[in-house]
Amino acid sequence: MPAIELSGISNGVLRNVSLSVRDGECLVLAGATGAGKTTLLNVIAGLVAYRGTVCFGDTAVDGLPPAQRKVGYLFQSFALFPHMRVRDNIAFGLQACGAEPARIRQRVDGLLQMLNIRHLETRYPKFLSGGEKQRVALARTLAPCPKILLLDEPFNSLDPRTADCLRLELKNLQRQLGLTAVYVTHDQQEAFEMGACIAVVDHGRIEQVGSPSEILFTPRTKAVSALFGSATLLKCDHIEALNFGLGKAWCGSLSLIVPCEGKPVKKIAVMPSGVQISKYPIETPAPNRFKGIIREIFKKPPVVTVAIQIAETRLTAELPEHIWYETGLGITDSVHVEIPLAGIRILTDVGPE
């Protein structure tokens, strides 16, 4: 039985959305800004009006106000109460539910320990960094032990390194605690990292629901293709297993080191945002370095997309505009390309990666 089941959800933004999330699964809602992802999250939380049915397990919760749905919601802006210290922020939900003081103390201590924020307990939110605020917000959300966790672009305002660390922590926590999670993002890389299942939302509709590989390699609609289809797809002719969960894949004229668990690989996707380019050769050792020629440049602020010819293969790289100008590269220039393992996805014969 799914943990969350939405049937025929409509309102000013959403149009007849039906969706189900399995117990303990993390579903990613991906889509462009304004697609209706946050509205869908708010429908599950009961924060906006809607037509249709929302069920948690086998119980319809449409008549229940947000306070009684027992759902944890992690807001994009953290939404920490500025007038409460970290400890009081975390304890708020437990106090609101009428928990006993001893249990509140024990639970808050446990969360402070688990999220490594014990040293922050007496601080007010204005004295916390973005990453610290995010940990506190997560602790506060987890405090009343929700079974369902809703996350609205929770790492959007953090620097990439902090966001990566927290994303990994969150994923581990979600698995450890067996939470059913719905995670909203507009970033395809983040969608692939977080979700075993991705639902692509566009103009208030669900365009496709599937595993990251299905979404990447077999997009069903133009909207999905526009959001996830910019990856370079390579047909894998042959793969040779190496040590450490890696394999060497031959894709036409290109041979790549890819993550591989010994299963036959059908296709390889190179994510444009994962491709690194430079005018000069990079000295440090790393796999997947090639030399190519820039064939096309598309400037679409804030990013620049570059088509690179490597032997007979055409690869797409995407980089922030300011970094592109720093490279000093132009059309027909020779370029050094690196494809890190994190920028590679594989489609195996037997199902999703």
Partner 1 sequence: MNSSARAPLFRGGIPVLLVISAWEMAARFHLIPGGIFFPPFSTVVLELKQMLFSGLLLPNFISSLGRVAAGFAGGSVAGIFVGVCMGWSRRLHRWCHPLVSLLYPIPALGWLPVLMLWIGVNEMLPIAIIFICSFFPILYNTIAGIRQVPSELIDAARMLGASDRTVLRQVVIPLALPNIFTGLKLEAGMAWKVVIAAEMVAIPTGIGALMMQAENLVRVDIILVCLMLLSVMSLLFEKFFCFLEEKTTGGWR
**Closest CB to partner 1 among residues 96, 241:** 96
Report the nearest approach of partner 1 to the CB of residue 14 (Å).
Answer: 18
Scanning 103-111, 139-147, 154-162, 345-353 for contacts with partner 1 by CB under 8 A, the matching segment is 139-147
Q: What gap in Å lies between CA 182 and CA 188, rounded to an integer?
A: 15
CA angle 132, 302, 31 (to 5 degrees): 70
Binding letters toward partner 1, positions 173-192, x by CB under 8 A: --------------------
Interface pick for partner 1 out of 5, 7, 47, 246 (rule CB under 8 A): 47
Binding letters toward partner 1, positions 82-111, x by CB under 8 A: xxx-------xx--xx--------------
Give the tokens for residue 289.
């370095």
Binding letters toward partner 1, positions 119-138, x by CB under 8 A: -----xxx------------
Residues binding partner 1: what is the number (CB under 8 A)?
A: 28
The structure tokens 């807001």 sit at 75
Type of residue at 234: L
Residues 242-271 that bind partner 1 (CB under 8 A): none
Using rule CB under 8 A, residue 285 touches partner 1:
no
54's enclosing H/E stretch is strand 51-56
Query: What is the edge-to-edge ordering of all strands in the sheet holding 334-338?
Result: 276-278, 334-338, 289-300, 303-310, 313-320
Report the nearest approach of partner 1 to the CB of residue 56 (Å).
Answer: 14
Report the nearest approach of partner 1 to the CB of residue 85 (Å).
Answer: 8
Integer angstrom CA distances of residue 15 from 41, 202, 209 = 14, 10, 16
Q: What gap in Å lies between CA 104 and CA 107, rounded to an integer?
A: 5
122 contacts 132 by C-beta, under 8 angstroms: no
Give the tokens for residue 178.
């067996």
Using rule CB under 8 A, residue 151 touches partner 1:
no
DSSP category for residue 14: -
| Binding region for partner 1 (CB under 8 A) | 45, 47, 65-68, 70-73, 75, 77, 79, 81-84, 92-93, 96-97, 124-126, 140-141, 143-144
